[in-house]
Structure 1
Amino acid sequence: MKTYSVCTGNLRVGRRLLTWAVAMVVLLWSLGGCGLQEPEKITAENALKRLSERNRPRFNDDAGFASLRRSIASARAYLEKLDPDRQFTFGPDVYPASRLLATLDAFEAVLDANPTPEELNRQVSEKFLVYQSVGSDGDGGMLFTGYYEPLLEGTLEYDPEYRYPLYGLPEDLVCVNLGRFKEKFKGEQICGRLSGNSLVPYYTREEIDSKNMLEAEGLEIAWVKDPVDLFFLHVQGSGRIKDKYGHTYHVHYAGKNGQPYRSIGKLLIDEGVIEKEAMSMQALREYLENHPEDLERVFNHNPSYVFFDVVDEPAIGYAGQPLEGGRAAAVDHRIFPMGALAFVQTEQPAVEHGVLTRWEEMNRFVLTLDTGGAIRGAGRMDFFWGNGDYAEIAAGHMKQDGRLFFLVVKEGNDA
């Protein structure tokens, strides 16, 4: 669920009709207490705390700087498209986009010197302010999960061998930025469709896949061979489709139906089908492939549905820029800044002959370039592993504890 190019906040209606009826429905809903939940207690203003020098972590990096520079380039491209005065919140402090760009410049200058681990730690500690996420427990505790870019067998033209469609964005999908109506809903949106003069929830996964509500709309952009692969593509948010002739196509997230995301992993844990300690994407896949009679029920437990585009580029994140495997991450964009330089302390898998053998310490600089429907709150980060066998294993098994920090270059009297 990760490569996003979400609605901009303008009311978007099929055939480009924009009616006062929709505006009034949304306004009444957002202002009139129609069941919307209050925002979480954690906000952008308290999700990060600035650390004193004695409380900062030791900064080191366990991956090559070349991939880090490519991810920095993606963050820079994102920030350069913004108004230089666009504000980003780092807990108690607010900085313009120009300060985030200056942070990337200063950090690349450190990398240019090809520093030793000791020198890297010293330079970062001296030149940057450090903020730590309060985490899910208020004490910095984070849960790190992973995602990747899967490869599916499929085709862009219908073929009886490839029966499961990917749908493009429906014209009747309406996405509304509620923050434009009331400040307390900043970062929140609802998606639905018009039924007469009413805005109603958009079709669920069950209505789309089991009841074929979109079948006659001509929205199919590709077809794939395996329904399990397709479901996991929805979870990952982007992927590649390889046809029988060896051609490969990139498919990216274009939007979603606005329905809540519900974990099928949690469903099977609650039902006692898979033990919590044994849960992974691989365990899920094994169960689903061995129980085809249960696919429809399990899949429909998650009403959220993703729509796709076929594009030329590899994985693109919420920030609209390429994601570098091992150097990009998804966070809750409502409370953490996009395009920011971050530092993570967690664990990564060691894999031998295609088998996860152990977990090893991971200390790494990453850039926040993506978000996701299940990535909510100050205690979550989803780490993008790229594509390939290792990426699939890492993404499927990763559910590690850790710590998350953000860096901002010092200026003037900053201490």
Structure 2
Amino acid sequence: MTARFGAVLAAWVGVLSVDSASADDAEELPAPPHHAILDFDDLDGWTEDDHAAALETFLVTCGDLRDPDWRALCGLAEDHRDDARLFFELFFRPVMVTDGARDNPEGPALFTGYFEPELTGSPEETERFRYPLYQMPDEARDAQPWLSRRDILTTDALADRDLEIAWVDDPVELFFLQIQGSGRIRFPDGRVIRVGYGGANGHEYKSIGQELVRRGTYEAHEVSADTIKNWVRENPEDGEELLFHNPSYVFFREVSEVPADRGPLGALNRSVTPMRTIAVDPEYTPLGAPVWIEKSGRTELNRLMVAQDTGSAIKGAQRADVFVGTGDEAGQEAGTFRDPGRMVVLLPIQRAYALLPDLVQ
């Protein structure tokens, strides 16, 4: 998905030093996150979940974690495949993390969904396939933020540089591919390549759905990916301008070495798992951590998932994007997700109790 990478550990463990700032500066600092240690009995539906499926997803990425606490748990996880629930209950504690709102520690979460789309494309530009997927140019890595979406698409900044991975026939689907961060491109000869997130131009993501609501075009409950796609296609000139409202631009890299039966690569460079992987804000939730979610809405979910991805629109302690799967059906399902609830991260016991000074403040 997803525009990715980097955790700020100080924010995550609740440490915020004001000694290095003046008193005036300290008043401007955001409140540190609030942590509350829960019991497993506090997790609605915990005993009914498939903990073995969650453990298998945890094992996909736990070997890549470098912190000693997490590496020790990864070794223990291999020995608890026959009793996954016991593994989580023995070695973790549930911790509710919120954005410094101590007066409302049960503040509402927001769950959305994402998927791996499949687009029709070509390895070469043709009359039909005119919209390129670009690799990231070196200067975009060195200068952040770099050119905006408008600048990239209305100038020759990337032309004639052999940065094109493939060409597709629909700029709207390409826009949404950038939001998802990964996907598959099916060529006319039947060959399929896979692309993953290769970087971004450094501009803040702005929601075009929210912009349509701000303009009064739709009510908030009416906005979905299909609604936006249809509006842009029915209003081509205004639609192009609407897409420019989001200055963020995502570049890709080819990752066709990932087997077709596995999910796309997440922020830890490992395949994500449908309905067990979530994208999170790593300032609050460490990548690789198990996370219990309680999502209401049309598709209720009370399930142990694993934080294996990030996204430019995923900001906050109670914010997650659920990976639904690959293809149109998964896309339709993901588009229905915009639901409240709560999320509770499972931390190694020693990490959880290290937060106690924060809890008693």
Change (3 A) 1:302 1:3: closer
Moved over 6 A (4+): none
| TM-score normalised per structure 2 | 0.81
State whether residues 3 and 317 of structure 1, in contact with CA within 8 Å, keep that contact through their aligned partners in structure 2: no
Tell me the residue number matched to 2:35: 48
Cα distance, 1:245 vs. partner?
1.2
Matched residue, 1:197: none
Q: Please tell me whether the aligned partners of residues 145 and 383 of structure 1 are also in contact (alpha carbons under 8 angstroms).
A: yes
Structure-to-structure mapping, 1:166-245, within 5 angstroms: 166-175=133-142, 191-192=143-144, 201-245=145-189
Indicate yes or no: 2:69 matched with 1:99. Answer: yes
Equivalent position SS for 1:326: coil
* 2:279 corresponds to: 330
The residue type paired with residue 139 of structure 1 is P
- The answer to whether residue 105 in structure 2 is matched with residue 139 in structure 1 is yes
State the TM-score, normalized to the length of structure 1: 0.71
Counterpart CA distance in 2 for 1:101 and 1:59 is: 25
Structure 2's unaligned 5+ residue stretches are 7-19, 21-26, 357-361
1:128 matches 2:92: yes
C-alpha displacement at 1:315, in angstroms?
Answer: 1.1
Cα offset, 1:153, TM superposition: 0.5
Q: Report SS of the residue matched to 2:278.
A: strand
Cα shift at 1:134: 1.9
After superposition, what is the alpha-carbon deviation per residue over 1:169-201, rounded to whole angstroms, capped at 9, x for unaligned?
1021235xxxxxxxxxxxxxxx43xxxxxxxx4
- What amino acid is the match of 1:98? P
- Taking the aligned partners of 1:212 and 1:402, their CA distance within structure 2 comes to 45
Q: CA deviation at 1:236?
A: 0.5
Provide the rounded CA distance (Å) in 2 between the counterparts of 1:78 and 1:378: 23
1:319-378: CA deviation from partner (whole Å, max 9, x where unpaired):
121111111111111222111111111136xxxxxxxxxx14211111111111111111
Mapping of 1:234-313 within 5 angstroms? 234-312=178-256, 313=258
Sequence identity, in percent?
33
Alignment partner of 2:338 out of 385, 389, 399:
399
Alpha-carbon distance in structure 1 between the residues aligned to 2:28 and 2:69: 28
Aligned in 2, Cα 1:174/1:244: closer, same or farther, shift over 3 Å? Answer: closer
Identify if the C-alpha distance between structure 1 residues 64 and 52 changes in structure 2 by more than 3 Å, giving closer, same or farther: closer
Question: CA, structure 1 residues 245+101, in 2 after alignment: closer, same or farther (shift >3 Å)?
Answer: same
Structure 1 residue 63, shift from structure 2 partner: 5.7
Deviation of 1:406 (Å):
1.6
Q: Structure 1's 404 and 267: CA in aligned 2 closer, same or farther, altered over 3 A? A: same
Which string of whole-angstrom CA distances, capped at 9 and with x for unpartnered residues, describes residues 37-76 of structure 1?
Answer: x997254xx353222566454414556844x344222222
Aligned to 1:217, what secondary structure does the other structure show?
Answer: coil
Q: Deviations over 1:136-181 (max 9, x none)?
A: 8542321011111000000122222100011101021235xxxxxx
What is the CA-CA distance between 1:286 and the residue it aligns to?
A: 1.9
Distance 1:153 1:240 in 2: 9
Does the CA contact (< 8 Å) of 2:97 and 2:284 recur in 1?
A: no
In 2, Cα distance between equivalents of 1:53 and 1:70: 20
CA distance in 2, matches of 1:283, 1:62: 34
The offset of 1:318, in angstroms, is: 1.1
Match of 1:388 in 2: 327
**How far apart, in 1, do the equivalents of 2:137 and 2:266 lie?**
21
Mapped to 2, the partners of 1:287 and 1:260 lie a distance apart of 23
Tell me if structure 1 keeps the 8 A contact 2:44–2:302. no
Report the CA distance shift for 1:245/1:54 in structure 2 as closer, same or farther (over 3 A). Answer: closer
**TM superposition shift of 1:227:** 0.6
Q: Specify whether residues 136 and 154 from structure 1 end up closer, same or farther in structure 2 by C-alpha distance, changes over 3 A only.
A: farther
Q: How far apart, in 2, do the equivalents of 1:3 and 1:108 lie?
A: 31
Residues 200, 248 of structure 2: 8 Å contact kept? yes
Contact 1:61–1:365 (8 Å) recurs in 2: no
Q: Give the number of aligned pairs.
A: 327
Aligned equivalents of 2:139, 2:79: Cα separation in 1: 48
Change (3 A) 1:249 1:284: same
* 1:333-352 equivalence runs, <5 A: 333-347=282-296
8 A Cα contact 2:40 2:46, kept in partner: no
Cα distance, 1:224–1:42 mapped onto 2, change above 3 Å:
farther
